[in-house]
């Protein structure tokens, strides 16, 4: 496999001269800022939000680099992982010409973003054990296949993908392989971030929405080679991460011990919930999980979903997904929430 990044990037992106914001042109401290047409008098809030934020989020990246053990220059921060996905399409895929490969059942935004960007989706369904069909994926590629999306741990199936399978794709595919690790904090599998030096065509996505509990701040992470990160920075909006999100995230990243304790409790509750669910006759299977949720096969997912909703408990009905007939996806809640779920299930007839 001969990987050539310059051949993957859309010609208009290669030639693109990015927007140069005021905060790009001057980096440092000054006593008077009259360069960005901001309201110099401040804002009506206690915290001054009248100034534009750091467009490259260097302080936040510094904190992330300590935790992820990767260089600042190998980190991109998006407005949620959905922005990372969208930018990948805009960087690598020519609308109406190129294609990408996804492996259903998997995260739905890969397909939605492809449709928005007019990029063909090729679907290679997972095997019955929810593992990748590597030969099927490689056979589905052609000269216009630019990206393979892999979600591991996978959503909604909650399992890790085989490392041998992923490495075979990285080695034999000349396009980009994006590994979505949104749930990696709950997994026994180690991250692929440390593999960036081995594979030029690797992009690793993570999130601060799950284990870090910052879903409403919308902070998605991408880790890749310096050249790929430069492309993301070239195409992104100038101020894609607001000041409040940067500040709160920096504060949250000082509390790694708290997050580790939450992860420990979630894993304990995941096992408790699995044991309890298996006691119900209408539960046919609880799949093994490496995430903060369980995929549960039941007799009638639609009926059970409606019953839980009527009792003010909301789960996700994944029955429309391939290989997930009559399956509910249930997030691991607090001990109190999990007990309430079990209580209501005990009344389900």
Residue 35 reports pLDDT greater than 90: no
- pLDDT (0 to 100) of residue 46: 81
pLDDT tens digits for range 177-226: 999 999 999 999 999 999 999 999 999 999 999 999 999 999 999 999 99
- pLDDT (0 to 100) of residue 19: 87
Name, in order, each residue with C-beta under 8 angstroms of 18's C-beta and a sequence gap of 6 or more: 233, 234, 235
Residue 47 reports pLDDT greater than 90: no
What is the percent of the chain with per-residue pLDDT over 90, rounded to a whole number?
A: 89
C-alpha–C-alpha distance, residues 308 and 315, integer Å = 8
**DSSP structure string for 261-328:** HHHHHHHHHHHHHHHHHTTSTTEEEE---SSSEEEEEES-HHHHHHHHHHTT---EE-TTSTT-TTEE
Average pLDDT rounded to a whole number, residues 323-342: 98
- pLDDT (0 to 100) of residue 151: 98
- pLDDT (0 to 100) of residue 45: 87
Residue 349 reports pLDDT greater than 80: no
What is the residue whose two structure tokens read 């994944």? 318
Domain boundaries, the chain: 5-254, 257-345
Average pLDDT rounded to a whole number, residues 111-139: 98
Backbone angles phi, psi at 159, to 5 degrees: -100, 155
- pLDDT (0 to 100) of residue 136: 98
- CATH fold of 5-254 reads 3.40.640
> pLDDT band at 42, cuts 50/70/90?
confident
Highest CATH level, class, for 257-345: alpha beta
- pLDDT (0 to 100) of residue 30: 81
**DSSP structure string for 130-193:** S---HHHHHHH--TTEEEEEEESS-TTT-PPPPHHHHHHHHHH-SSEEEEE-TTGGG-SSPPSG
C-alpha–C-alpha distance, residues 163 and 330, integer Å = 26
- pLDDT (0 to 100) of residue 332: 98
- pLDDT (0 to 100) of residue 256: 96
pLDDT tens digits for range 271-304: 999 999 999 999 999 999 999 999 999 999 999 9
């Amino acid at each position: 496999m001969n990987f050539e990044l310059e051949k993957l990037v859309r010609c208009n992106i290669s030639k693109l001269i990015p927007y140069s914001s005021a905060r790009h042109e001057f980096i440092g401290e000054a006593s008077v800022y009259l360069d960005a047409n901001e309201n110099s008098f401040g804002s009506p809030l206690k915290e001054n939000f009248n100034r534009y934020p750091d467009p490259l989020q260097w302080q936040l990246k510094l904190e992330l680099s300590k935790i992820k053990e990767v260089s600042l220059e190998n980190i991109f921060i998006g407005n949620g992982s959905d922005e990372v996905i969208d930018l990948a399409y805009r960087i690598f895929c020519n609308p109406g010409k190129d294609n990408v490969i996804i492996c259903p059942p998997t995260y739905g935004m890969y397909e939605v973003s492809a449709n928005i960007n007019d990029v063909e989706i090729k679907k290679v369904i997972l095997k019955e054990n929810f593992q990748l069909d590597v030969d099927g994926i490689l056979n589905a590629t052609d000269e216009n296949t630019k990206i393979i999306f892999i979600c591991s741990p996978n959503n909604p199936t909650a399992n890790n993908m085989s490392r041998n399978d992923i490495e075979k794709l990285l080695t034999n595919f000349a396009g980009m392989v994006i590994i979505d690790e949104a749930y990696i904090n709950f997994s026994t599998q180690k991250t692929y971030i440390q593999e960036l030096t081995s594979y030029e065509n690797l992009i690793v996505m993570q999130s601060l929405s799950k284990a870090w509990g910052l879903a409403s701040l919308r902070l998605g992470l991408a880790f890749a080679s310096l050249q790929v990160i430069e492309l993301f920075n070239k195409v992104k909006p100038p101020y894609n991460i607001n000041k409040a999100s940067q500040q709160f995230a920096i504060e949250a990243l000082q509390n790694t011990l708290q997050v580790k304790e939450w992860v420990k409790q979630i894993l304990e509750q995941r096992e408790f919930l699995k044991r309890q669910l298996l006691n119900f006759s209408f539960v046919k299977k609880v799949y093994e999980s490496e995430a903060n949720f369980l995929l549960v096969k039941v007799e009638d997912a639609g009926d059970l979903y409606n019953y839980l909703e009527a009792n003010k408990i909301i789960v996700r009905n994944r029955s429309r997904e391939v290989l997930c007939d009559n399956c509910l996806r249930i997030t691991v809640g607090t001990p109190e929430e999990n007990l309430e779920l079990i209580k209501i299930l005990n009344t389900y007839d």
